[in-house]
Amino acid sequence: MKPSRDRRRDDRPARHGGQDGRRQPEARPDQARTAEPAPARRQLRRREGELPAERLPLILEVAPNDDYALIDSGAGRKLEQYGPYRIVRPEGQAIWQPALSEREWAKADAVFTGDTDEEGMGRWRFPKAPLGETWPMRHDGVDYLGRFTSFRHVGVFPEQASHWDHMAGLIEAAKRPVKVLNLFGYTGLASLVAARAGAEVAHVDASKKAIGWARENQEMARLADRPIRWICEDAMKFAEREERRGSRYDMILFDPPAYGRGPKGEVWQLFEDLPALADICRAILTPKPLAVVLTAYSIRASFFAIHGLMRDTFAGMGGRVESGELVIREKSAGRALSTSLFSRWVAK
Ligand SMILES: C[S@@+](CC[C@H](N)C(=O)[O-])C[C@H]1O[C@@H](n2cnc3c(N)ncnc32)[C@H](O)[C@@H]1O
């Protein structure tokens, strides 16, 4: 994608779906396609002060566990265990050969074929027996629903577990009320883990469908009594409004797609919009913030790019910026499958 910094948020080419590569935003048929008039663009100035300390490269790994495992990978595919089901999906980065035999792969309960233009369940094949759209999953005692979605996703990005555990540790160690903002929150796993750790959470996503799934997950997790606000809105617009209103957060997570749209057609382009959103995230922190965690995927960039942005953005705030990759460690031959880049500012 070519960065073009002088274009406004409303005059970008209308494109649907995501970029090539790893995780892509869901197709959202429920969305309006007309763009909203864009607000004036934020004037970005270099923040004064010393740059935060740095720690990199930091590779955060998810190892095979009882809830989830990358069983094997290779030849452009991955074989994963999601709770009770073995699932095969395309994986462009697995350019090596599978370590396990075809017989092992043939034991899959579900295979994403991607070989038709069909939307919905049609793109999933269930070799053993037809399966329902959802199934029970669990992360570290938090119950939620796995889900066969139209775009090969299964309702969770397991590599994010590294962030969830880190975030829960910070919330618990704070021993005070903590407010968390989860932008681009999808099915809400981070929001649920934060709420279970004791935080008050604002969860924002542009997709009405994803918000619905997140609410179902809250029920599944038996966390219905926890303070989570589910907000269907454009992430940038919401953050801008929080800044104007004076709402503040102790911790912010943002996991934006390379390209996405808000519910009113607002266009999100990572290379153009990320610097402004990072700057707003800084502006809406409480005086005693804990962390700001950014993940990026499906982009042609190095973690040094988002590391540089985060260090600049948090200049003068002390703390440390840690950056690297989120990877999943394979059970069969121990290879690491890279899923995304991340950069996080931590106060301590
Ligand atoms: C890959 S998901 C994020 C995954 C999430 N962090 C997790 O771990 O489950 C990207 C999400 O961004 C949402 N999205 C895309 N464009 C958006 C926008 N302009 N404002 C808010 N959310 C947006 C999509 O609906 C999708 O749920």
**Domain of residue 201, CATH code:** 3.40.50.150
Interval 68-101: pLDDT, tens = 999 999 999 999 999 999 999 999 999 999 999 9
| 252 and 296 belong to one structural domain | yes
Query: What would the mean pLDDT of 296-321 be, rounded to a whole number?
Result: 96
Centre of ligand 1 to C-alpha 207, Å, is: 8
- CA of 160, closest atom in ligand 1: 8
pLDDT value of position 281 = 98
| 107 and 204 belong to one structural domain | no
Interval 166-175: pLDDT, tens = 999 999 999 9
Q: Note the Cα 284 to chain centre separation in Å.
A: 20
Confidence check: pLDDT of 4 > 70: no
Buried b vs exposed e over 138-147: b needs ≥16 C-beta within 10 Å?
ebeebbbbbb
| 169 and 254 belong to one structural domain | yes
In this structure, which residue's CA is closest to atom 27 in ligand 1?
A: 186
pLDDT value of position 120 = 56
Query: What would the mean pLDDT of 157-166 be, rounded to a whole number?
Result: 98
| 341 and 231 belong to one structural domain | yes
CATH number at residue 122: 2.60.40.1180
- CA of 255, closest atom in ligand 1: 6
Q: Note the Cα 208 to chain centre separation in Å.
A: 16
Centre of ligand 1 to C-alpha 262, Å, is: 9
Find the residues whose C-beta lies inside 6 A of ligand 1. Answer: 23, 25-26, 157, 160, 184-187, 189-190, 204-207, 210, 234-235, 255, 257, 260-262, 266, 268
| 127 and 210 belong to one structural domain | no
Query: Is 46 part of a structural domain of the chain?
Result: no
Number of domains in the chain: 2
Give 248's contacts (C-beta < 8 A, 6+ positions apart): 179, 242, 284, 285, 286
Domain stop point among 147, 175, 197: 147
- CA of 237, closest atom in ligand 1: 20
pLDDT value of position 11 = 29
| 279 and 237 belong to one structural domain | yes
φ, ψ for residue 278 (rounded to 5)? -60, -40
Confidence check: pLDDT of 20 > 50: no
| 205 and 108 belong to one structural domain | no
Percent over 70 (pLDDT), the chain: 86
pLDDT value of position 38 = 55
Confidence check: pLDDT of 191 > 90: yes
Query: What would the mean pLDDT of 63-70 be, rounded to a whole number?
Result: 97
pLDDT value of position 24 = 44
Centre of ligand 1 to C-alpha 78, Å, is: 23
Q: Which domain holds residue 199?
A: 53-62+156-346
Query: Is 340 part of a structural domain of the chain?
Result: yes
In this structure, which residue's CA is closest to atom 26 in ligand 1?
A: 186
In this structure, which residue's CA is closest to atom 13 in ligand 1?
A: 184
Query: Is 3 part of a structural domain of the chain?
Result: no
| 208 and 110 belong to one structural domain | no
| 211 and 230 belong to one structural domain | yes
Which mutation among 15, 36, 186 tests ligand 1's pocket best, with the greatest number of atoms within 8 A of CB? 186
pLDDT value of position 32 = 37
Confidence check: pLDDT of 114 > 90: no
Query: Is 35 part of a structural domain of the chain?
Result: no
| 328 and 277 belong to one structural domain | yes
- What is the Cα–Cα distance from 83 to 315, expressed in whole angstroms? 42
Confidence check: pLDDT of 18 > 50: no
Domain stop point among 92, 113, 147: 147
